[in-house]
A and B are shown apart, each in its own frame.
Chain A
Amino acid sequence: MKKRKILTLLLIPLILTSCSKNNGQLKILCPTGGPAIAFYKYGENSNFETTTNPQTSLIPMFQTDIYDVIVAPTNGGLAQIVKFNAQYKIAATITFGNFYIISTGRDGNNVMDEGDKVLIFQEADLPGKVFNYLYSDLKLDVTAVGNASNTKNVIENNGVLVGETTIAFDYIMTAEPIMTVTKKTPFINIQDEFFNKTGGKMLTQASIFVKNSSSKNSIDNFLVSLENDINNGVSDPDLIYNEIAKLGSNEAQSGVFGTNATIAKKITQNGNGFSLGFKRSMEIKDDIQQFVDLFPGLNLGVLDEKVFYQ
């Protein structure tokens, strides 16, 4: 009896912290930036969490049953399902690439060609893979940094990377919202280049993965509602602004979405810079297959029907 009491006592914090989990709503985890903006109506929802560190804090969550919905890089989420048997299915893609190349103005001929110094980020992940897929034959002098936020420092430093060897770049690959925050304009829209080179395939960057054991009814309602939100937000960026602004100061807004209402509105107005959209995975299976084929190291092969939510 005593032992049971002690065990109960030890489990109290675990029980307390997991109490917030089941209040009828879906528990959602999403990376900040473009994908989070799609959830602009969820800012005050206590079941909606975002993270700035997808590799550390989001992908491992596929191996737990904490979240009903995880918004993840399509390749990362599918790898968890196919290779590690994560109990999730891919339901829809909501961002279709927010990568851009900006010019620092150093390149004399203003054409990205042989020998030009280019800074990219996440070489082993989607940005690097897409860049290599598009430009590996140009014989560029490429340097990679860890993530998009590292490119921000270089852009702010007039395109100069200070390190063991100082490099002045001709072009920098970056992502929204960094391009808007640093007040730069795109030299190349990578999404368009990808679309052209693949003969009309979309860059299925971030997708919604739903937990197998979650209520189908709740998931279906959630997907319909999110599709409406995204479509409405893209056609009327003021909606995005107003919802995000409800959180208060810019810092509070960035705390949840990774960017503030003004910048989110500006990027959406500027040709839907986050490439927000909503496509059911079943409808774009070929695009998703083409996308995962960019990552031969993942060995995902031909995607099985059972990874798609129906």
Chain B
Amino acid sequence: MKKFFINKFVLTLLGVLVFISCWYIIYETTGKSNATFPAPKATFDQMFVYLQDRYTYICIWGSLYRMIIGFLIAAFLAIILGCFVGNHKKTKYVLNPTIIAIKAIPTAALIFLFLRLAGLKNAPIYVVAIIVFPIVYEATVSGFNQIDKDLINSSRVDGGNSFINTLMIKFPLAFPSIGIGLISSFALSLKIEIMAEVISGSSSDGIGRAIQNAYLNSENGLVPTFAYSLIAIIVILIISLLLFFIKKFYKKVSNVA
């Protein structure tokens, strides 16, 4: 087991090396100009400079803050609706067209819509919410569908009412599936948040805004843009790693259940 972990770790390191080598080769072959392609070393150096700047953390917090608000709104509403649909299966067909439409609508169109409805600062919150909503909703419905019917029937025999049954029996049983839906959509939310910030061009502090400004004001080509992008990658990696462990935990719980 330990050997396997070491191998996995070594392979991951190798993957990072391959990534940086590819980056370096592209830089060398595209004319060694930061204006067209950023140099790896200069980008990492710039990233370390940014990591020492308070503004970088304000931006990370700004993006995370808006993202979390959007995420929580969506998760709350999606779980409630998912529970309802899980209990009244036929309503799924009524809601399906709406859910499909929400999933299919281009994100850029959503951004334009919410720019008008909520203003520049708040538009990303709603965009994140709309993207997360169908994912969590479907995970909730799927969680309810996977519950053993015998268990539900026996709870009915015991005389529990529908609300208590949902809250105390069905919801905990469906939670591993809901959890996976929440986790899958969380890292995606940050990417959506950053993209919405870039499209809105809002002055609210955020990683998207920092990336865009670095692009517009750079005196060193694309280096600052990609330095901020690296920071965004690190943030997403940290979140993904945390979520990976949480996901693992839920899978374990799910298997036990």
Contacts and interface: CB of A to CB of B under 8 A. Distances in A.
Contacts of A251: 50, 53, 55-56, 210, 213-214
B201 A57 contact: yes
B9 to A, nearest CB: 34
A146 B116 CA distance: 24
How many residues of B sit at the interface, in one of the four size bands?
Answer: 35 or more
Contacts of B215: 149
B149 interface: no
Contact of A49 (B53, B116, B126, B203): B203
B45 interface: no
B35 interface: yes
Given A13-B69, A61-B116, A51 B213 contact: no
Contacts of A224: none
How many residues of A sit at the interface, in one of the four size bands?
Answer: 35 or more
Contacts of A182: 219
Nearest to B72: A13
B249 to A, nearest CB: 30
B251 interface: no
Contact of A255 (B118, B121, B203): B203
A149 B209 CA distance: 15
Interface string B148-185: 00000000000000000000000000000000000000
B15 interface: no
A61 B214 CA distance: 25
Nearest to B205: A255
B116 A14 contact: no
B54 A258 contact: no
Of A10, A177, A182, A255, the most chain B CB neighbours within 10 A belong to A255
B33 interface: yes
Interface string B106-136: 0000001001111111100110010000000
A32 interface: yes
B253 interface: no
A255 B213 contact: yes
Contacts of B205: 252, 255
B216 to A, nearest CB: 5
Interface in B181-210: 199-205, 209-210
B29 interface: no
A255 B54 CA distance: 13
A259 B218 CA distance: 10
B214 A157 contact: no
A53 B213 contact: no
Interface string A22-58: 0000000100100000000000000011111100110
Nearest to B204: A49
Contact of A248 (B55, B115, B126): B55
A153 to B, nearest CB: 6
Contacts of A177: 217
A149 B120 CA distance: 21
A51 B55 contact: no
Nearest to B76: A9
A17 B122 contact: yes
A64 interface: yes
Nearest to B108: A56
A156 interface: yes
Nearest to B62: A255
Contacts of A255: 55, 59, 203, 205, 209-210, 213
Interface in A258-278: 258-260, 263
A196 interface: no
Interface in A236-253: 248-252
B95 interface: no
Nearest to B216: A149
A181 interface: yes
Contacts of B118: 14, 17-18
B112 to A, nearest CB: 7
A298 interface: no
A60 B116 contact: yes
Contact of A13 (B50, B73, B210): B73
Of B35, B77, B129, the most chain A CB neighbours within 10 A belong to B35
B120 A29 contact: yes
B217 A259 contact: yes
A256 interface: yes
A51 B217 contact: no
Interface string A61-89: 10110110000000000000000000000
28 contacts: A13-B73, A13-B126, A17-B118, A18-B118, A51-B120, A51-B200, A53-B199, A56-B115, A56-B200, A56-B201, A57-B115, A57-B201, A61-B119, A64-B116, A64-B117, A149-B215, A152-B216, A153-B36, A156-B35, A156-B221, A157-B33, A157-B35, A177-B217, A249-B53, A250-B217, A252-B53, A252-B58, A258-B217
Closest 10 A/B residue pairs (Cβ)? A53-B201, A52-B201, A252-B55, A50-B203, A17-B122, A51-B201, A156-B35, A254-B213, A66-B119, A249-B55
